Amino acid sequence: MKAIILAAGYATRLYPLTRDFPKPLLVIGDRSILDSLVDQLTQIDGLREIILVSNSRFLAHFRRWSGASPRAIPVRLLDDGSTCNEDRLGALGDLRIALEHAGHDDDVLVSAADNILQFQLTEFVASFQARRACQIGVHRITDPARLRRTGIAVLGEGDRVMEFAEKPREPKTHWAVPPLYIFSRESLPRIRARLLAGGPTDAPGHLIEWLCGEMPVFAHRIQGTILDIGTPESLDAARRSFRRHGRNP
């Protein structure tokens, strides 16, 4: 397995804090957001490489981060060529670049770089390995406003994803889908072809919506929480929580 981390966004909602600094390298507790994710990834048996996609503007920051300490798993940095929010490629544009470098012999775990996962990522991988089919993570949200700002899955027997909608006006379920997926190696040729064909490039949920109509996709019910660091308020709340607990709560 290989892991792809999508870290090429510009985090405009956190300006001026992230105007000249990448959000994934902001420190919460005693670790950066990115280090917390990489710590989880290094626990996955058989993970051979981490591919991180950055924009040109922040690439030097990630190079310094990568060279600051030895890594148990090699990290390959890719530059998507964008220099500002207006010319960004979007999550799916960056995923297309990463998949071009990922090869054809490995399953691929895909994650955004700006969430702190407060559950065992190894359990997510074990669930995929038991099924050997494409998989998404889902967690239960009850706030209607939050549900309208994320992807929503309708689950059937065996937690197969029967429907998926990106930011629906009227969510059909409480199963929210964070940007956390595993694509089987067998699915990658069709996914690459889809990305090359064009279409929406920003929200990765558009790819999941298409994928559910092409092949079986299953959901793993996350046993834990996810801290989405998207606004100054959510960043402050996460830092306060870590100060109270002294570690990842």
Q: pLDDT tens digits for 119-161?
A: 999 999 999 999 999 999 999 998 888 889 889 999 999 999 9
Point out which residues pair with 78 in neighbouring strands: 53
208 burial (CB, 10 Å; 0-12 / 13-18 / 19+) is: buried
Distance from C-alpha of 206 to C-alpha of 199, rounded to nearest angstrom:
9
* Structure confidence at residue 249 as a pLDDT band (50, 70, 90): very low
For the chain, domains (ranges, CATH) are 2-244 (3.90.550.10)
Residue 118 in tokens: 């407060």
* Structure confidence at residue 200 as a pLDDT band (50, 70, 90): low
Query: Is the pTM higher than 0.85?
Result: yes
The pLDDT tens digits of the residues spanning 1-27 come to: 999 999 999 999 999 999 999 999 999
Torsion of CA 21, 27, 31, 35, to 10 degrees: -30
Torsion of CA 74, 79, 80, 85, to 10 degrees: 110
E strand segments, 119-202: 134-140, 151-155, 161-166, 175-177, 180-183
